């Protein structure tokens, strides 16, 4: 690295590291929140209590995932079988 490039790199690094804290403070930060709510406060949207129902799994996980597992097992098995058949037919055992 040339001395000029090294000086430029160091200056750029110092500039970036020097400006990072300034930009973080310039954002102003979040407004202070005491965390206390008045006792008479009501929610904007009432939420019903959760039920004991278990949600039905979506059709993708019920049908597509087992189908893909079976198809991939068949594909791997078929590829293995075709490889064995091709290798067996390629070579002959000579007995003499």
pLDDT, tens digit, for every residue of 15-41?
777 777 666 655 555 555 556 666 777
**pTM of the full structure:** 0.37
pLDDT of residue 5: 82
Query: CA neighbours within 13 Å on the CB side: how many for 5?
Result: 2
Query: CA neighbours within 13 Å on the CB side: how many for 16?
Result: 6
pLDDT of residue 80: 92
pLDDT of residue 2: 81
pLDDT of residue 76: 97
Tell whether the torsion through CA atoms of 44, 48, 50 and 54 is positive or negative.
Answer: negative
User: Could you say which residues of the chain have pLDDT below 50?
Assistant: none
């Amino acid at each position: 690295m040339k001395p000029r490039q090294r000086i430029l790199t160091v200056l750029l690094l110092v500039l970036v590291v020097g400006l990072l804290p300034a930009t973080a403070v310039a954002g102003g930060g979040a407004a202070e929140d005491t965390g206390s709510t008045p006792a008479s406060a009501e929610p904007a949207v009432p939420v019903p209590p959760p039920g004991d129902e278990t949600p039905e799994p979506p059709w993708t996980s019920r049908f597509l995932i087992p189908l893909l597992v079976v198809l991939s097992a068949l594909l791997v098995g078929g590829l293995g079988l075709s490889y064995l058949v091709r290798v067996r037919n390629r070579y002959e055992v000579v007995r003499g």
